[in-house]
């Protein structure tokens, strides 16, 4: 079943000074950035809306024999540059509107990285921690069956996001392949390497966040060895970013999971703290001089803040209290539109999600190439090519920052929008 996007958003947008849904934030960011690009107003209008949103019921037989029905979504925003691409999120707060906003960010992210994909995002409104492994497998297989008509290696290629992982992708790929009658590894990325996954995909969004943080620190004429960092969220993105920055000489003073943060002004041993994958909700069990809340970690006196958990954590209410001079967005949409303006006014550099965490989708692209060619790249090659792509994207965005005196977010949007508008013009797609 295909559903139209929610219509209440326009009213909510005008009534709300601080939009805090991914969709409203994404639309406002687009409007603001479009003023700096020579792009047809009709194209901008079109880009405020998704091409299609799939809403499906996903029945699950629980281990006790009872049946529960969950709701799943797949939002497809724009595919002018290639198949829709983006993660699947399992989280209780997943909605159609959130998936649309996140799919818009995927369109820009793929364009900033100059990889041949458009933007998609989906998920199921479910608390993954409330499911047994067998239940998660059954739910994932049924979801794959429900959305199989709209996904495929040339159509729409899902990947992991919050609450999903390589195993989820393996089940999804298997369910799709069984119905397809042939093994189709390219239908999803982020799989285990043994079934066509790419080495380095799991660490990639954290790796790119660390690479971009390193570049931003250098751009600010700072020494990484004298830089303090706080990271909210210790999962796929946060833990990998924290560990790499720690390895490269930065002092990671605080990290958090859903229950709160640990803080050591002398620096934490990030490799000794269990990640979400190694053991969820275990950060506070690690010995550290102080614990602080997930709100307080954002306001610590550090040089670099990396929000790498959920969205909308930096808002008009706390933007004035952010002490960091550089914010690198590991999560998608951690900064609201109003908070962005306050941080800009205060001279805080906010390096946007669509650049910083784009290593995930970039290595997903490498994985898709490997699947099509039935080849496997070494971890060294993946990391080298990722480094090259990240530095190229960083340089493209930096050029716009310097040429037009833009914020990092506006500059990243300018790079993305220019590429998307050019593709639309050349293809003759209207709008
Ligand atoms: N995975 C990917 O490929 C990519 C993910 N992202 C984005 O990065 C962000 C994190 O995703 P990912 O690392 O995959 O997720 P994971 O599920 O791997 O980890 C999430 C982490 O955040 C913690 N957390 C959950 N809720 C909260 C909360 N309300 N406050 C503070 N911490 C919280 C979790 O704690 P606990 O362990 O206790 O559950 C866990 O440590 C999301 O915004 C996602 O969209 C962006 C690009 C790629
Ligand atoms: O790897 C991908 O395709 C997408 C990852 C993702 O969902 C994201 O970057 O937000």
CA of residue 224 to ligand 1 center, whole Å: 25
Mutate-to-test residue for ligand 2 from 360, 382, 386, 393, highest number of ligand atoms within 8 A of CB: 360
What pLDDT shows up at residue 20?
Answer: 73
- Smallest CA separation from ligand 2 atom 2, residue: 361
CA of residue 226 to ligand 2 center, whole Å: 32
* Residues ≥6 apart with Cβ < 8 Å to 141: 171, 172, 174, 175
What pLDDT shows up at residue 431?
Answer: 55
Q: Is the CB of 294 under 6 A from ligand 1?
A: yes
Active site residues: 121
Three-class DSSP category at 98: helix
Burial class (CB in 10 A: 0-12, 13-18, 19+), 186: buried
Q: What is the mean pLDDT of each run of 10 residues along the chain (431 residues)?
A: 30 48 94 93 94 98 98 98 98 97 98 98 97 98 98 98 97 97 97 98 98 98 98 97 98 98 98 95 96 98 98 97 98 96 98 98 98 96 98 98 97 97 87 55
Q: Is the CB of 369 under 6 A from ligand 1?
A: no
What pLDDT shows up at residue 263?
Answer: 98
Mutate-to-test residue for ligand 1 from 86, 103, 236, 262, highest number of ligand atoms within 8 A of CB: 236
DSSP states of 367-419 as a string? HHHHHHHT----HHHHHHHHHHHHHHHHHHHHHHHHHHT--HHHHHHHHHHHH
* Residues ≥6 apart with Cβ < 8 Å to 104: 22, 23, 26, 27, 30, 47, 50, 77, 78, 119
In this prediction, does ipTM exceed 0.85?
yes
Q: Is the CB of 197 under 6 A from ligand 1?
A: no
d(CA 48, CA 104): 8
- Smallest CA separation from ligand 1 atom 40, residue: 235
Q: Is the CB of 217 under 6 A from ligand 1?
A: no
- Select from 333, 394, 334, 311 the least CA-distant residue to 359: 394
**Domains by residue range for the chain, with CATH:** 32-200+384-431 (3.40.50.10860), 204-356 (3.40.50.720)
> pTM value?
0.95
Furthest C-alpha separation in the chain: 62
Q: What are phi and psi of 255, to 5 degrees?
A: -140, 160
Angle made by CA atoms 351, 240, 331, in degrees to the nearest 5: 40
d(CA 218, CA 270): 22
Q: What is the pLDDT of residues 263-312, one digit of tens each?
A: 999 999 999 999 999 999 999 999 999 999 999 999 999 999 999 999 99
What pLDDT shows up at residue 4?
Answer: 31
């Amino acid at each position: 079943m295909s559903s139209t996007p929610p219509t209440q958003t326009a009213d909510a947008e005008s009534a709300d000074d601080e939009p805090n849904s991914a969709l409203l934030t994404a639309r406002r960011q687009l409007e603001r950035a479009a003023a700096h690009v020579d792009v047809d107003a009709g194209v901008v209008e079109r880009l405020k809306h998704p091409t299609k949103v799939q809403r499906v019921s996903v029945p699950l037989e629980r281990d006790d024999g009872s049946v529960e029905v969950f709701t799943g979504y797949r939002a497809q925003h724009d595919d002018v540059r290639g198949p829709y691409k983006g993660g699947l999120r399992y989280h209780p707060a997943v909605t159609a509107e959130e998936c649309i906003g996140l799919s818009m960010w995927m369109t820009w992210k793929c364009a900033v990285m100059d990889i041949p994909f458009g933007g998609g995002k989906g998920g199921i409104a479910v608390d993954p921690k409330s499911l047994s492994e067998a239940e998660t497998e059954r739910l994932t297989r049924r979801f794959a069956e429900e959305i199989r008509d709209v996904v495929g290696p040339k159509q729409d290629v899902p990947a992991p996001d919050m609450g999903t992982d390589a195993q989820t992708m393996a089940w999804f790929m298997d369910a799709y392949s069984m119905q397809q009658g042939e093994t189709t590894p390219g239908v999803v990325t982020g799989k285990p390497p043994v079934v066509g996954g790419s080495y380095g995909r799991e660490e990639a969004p954290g790796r790119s966040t660390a690479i971009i943080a390193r570049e931003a620190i250098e751009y600010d004429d700072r020494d990484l060895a004298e830089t303090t960092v706080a990271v909210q969220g210790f999962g796929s993105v946060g833990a990998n970013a924290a560990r790499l920055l720690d390895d490269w000489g930065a002092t990671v003073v605080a990290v958090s999971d859903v229950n709160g943060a640990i803080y050591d002004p002398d620096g934490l041993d990030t490799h000794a703290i269990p990640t979400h994958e190694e053991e969820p909700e275990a950060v506070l069990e690690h010995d550290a001089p102080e614990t602080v809340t997930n709100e307080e970690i954002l306001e610590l006196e550090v040089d670099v803040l990396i929000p790498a958990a959920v969205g909308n954590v930096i808002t008009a209410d706390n933007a004035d209290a952010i002490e960091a001079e550089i914010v690198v967005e590991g999560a998608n949409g951690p900064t609201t539109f109003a908070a962005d303006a306050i941080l800009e006014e205060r001279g805080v550099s906010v390096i946007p999600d669509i650049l910083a965490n784009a290593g995930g989708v970039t290595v997903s692209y490498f994985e898709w190439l490997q699947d099509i060619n039935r080849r496997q790249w070494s971890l060294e090659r993946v990391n080298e090519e990722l480094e090259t792509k990240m530095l190229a994207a960083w340089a493209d965005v930096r050029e716009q920052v310097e040429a037009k005196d833009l914020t990092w977010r506006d500059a990243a949007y300018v790079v993305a929008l220019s590429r998307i508008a050019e593709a639309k013009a050349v293809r003759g797609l209207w709008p």
